[in-house]
Amino acid sequence: MAAAGSAGGSGRLAGARAGLGSIARATATLAGSHPLEACAIVLLGLGGLVYPPVWLVGALIALPSRDWDFRDKWVGLGGPVLLMIVGTGLLVVHAGHRDSVHLYVREAWMIADYLIRAGAVLGAAYLTWRTQRGPREPPVPPWNRPHRI
C-alpha cells in the first residue's frame, strides 16, 4: 500500500512540475513580447502580495501601457482600491459591536491589508488575461454603425 501511495504522490509531483513549467514558459513568452506589461504585472501581483506599497510602483509603470485601454486599467488598477474601500467598510459594519474607536480602526486596518493584497493579485491576473487576449478593437463611431430599418 505504501508503494501505491508514493506512486500517486510522485504522479502529482510530476503534474505540478509540468504545470509550473508551462507557467514559466508562458511568463517568459509574455516578458519577451510585452516587457513593460510583464514588469507591471509582476510588481502589481507579487509586489502587492508581499509588500503592498510596491503595488503603487507597478501602477505607475502600467499607466503608459498601450496594450491596455482605459477600461482595462480601470479594472486592473482601480478594482483593487475599490475592493479594499468597499470591502473594508462592509466587513467592519457587519463585524459586530466594538467598545472603542481604536478597536474599529485596528480591525479596519487588518481587513484593508488583506483585501488590498487579494485585490492586487486579482488585478494582476486580470491584466495578464487582457495582455494574452491582445488589445481591444476601437469602438465603431455612431455614424459608421449599420442602421436598423
Which pLDDT score is estimated for 20? 64
Which pLDDT score is estimated for 74? 93
Which pLDDT score is estimated for 79? 92
Phi-psi region of 42 (alpha: psi -120 to 50; beta: other; left: phi over 0): alpha
Over residues 81-116, the pLDDT tens digits come to 999 999 998 988 887 777 888 888 888 899 999 999
Is the Cβ–Cβ distance between 58 and 42 less than 8 Å? yes
Domain boundaries, the chain: 1-33, 34-135
Which pLDDT score is estimated for 1? 46
Nearest-angstrom CA–CA distance, 43 and 128: 12
**What stretches in the chain show pLDDT beneath 70?**
1-9, 16, 19-20, 22-24
